[in-house]
Amino acid sequence: MRIELDTDQDDDFEGREDRELLVDIIHQLRHLRREMGQLADAIVAVQADAAAILATLSPIGLEIAEIQVELAASGDIPAALTALAQLHTDLSGAATSLGADSAAMGALAGPAVTSISPAAGPVAGGTAVTVNGKGFTGATAVNFGTVAAASVAVVSDNQITVTSPAVSAGVMDVTVVTPVGTSPTSAADQFTAS
């Protein structure tokens, strides 16, 4: 919305006061619109952080929604911006902490295979296969179906190299065995012997 003022010099004193008041109101509205934009941006940032961890921390998600409603109702925009900025910082820290905790929990949860390469080889065995995933530290065996690999070398917690054993023709799961457990089977761990 654009408001134009008549700046004719012949206006009386009251007209000039009205113009000054109107100009002041326009400046205040522009400032308020800027602050509302900042508040909207802060809310979007907080909502993005909350969405990232809401599944794990649903009580915090509920608290965020309550804080947003209270701040919006209070009308104190600078205080709302400050509170939302702090909440954004807190949620970012919580998300980082959750990532570290998830990695630690993943190691306790056992191994998981995310890919193998190559995914095919001869039934006679002897193919060098790289197994990728997580939780491989301390692996004691790698199985092609029910047959143990001929040799196993744990490269890192995320990678193992093995030599495929002699097996029957067909598709089989490649599983990693550790003291914590055996990797679950999935389409990502399938090896085809022909």
pLDDT tens digits for range 5-48? 455 555 554 567 777 777 777 777 777 677 766 666 666 666 66
Q: Which amino acid is located at 187 in the chain?
A: A
Tokens of 178: 């550790």
Q: Over the stretch 49-62, which tens digit does the pLDDT of each residue have?
A: 655 555 455 555 55
Cα first-last separation, the chain: 74
Both tokens assigned to 144: 């092609």
User: Quick check: 122 pLDDT over 90?
Assistant: yes
User: To the nearest 5 percent, what fractions of the chain are helix, strand and coil?
Assistant: 50, 25, 25
- Adjacent-strand bridge partners of 160: 131, 154
Instruction: Tell me which of 95 and 184 has the higher pLDDT.
Output: 184
Q: Of the candidates 116, 96, 99, 95, which has an alpha carbon nearest to the alpha carbon of residue 158? A: 116
Amino acid identity, position 116: I
Residue 129 has phi, psi (to 5 degrees) of -120, 135
pLDDT of residue 1: 46
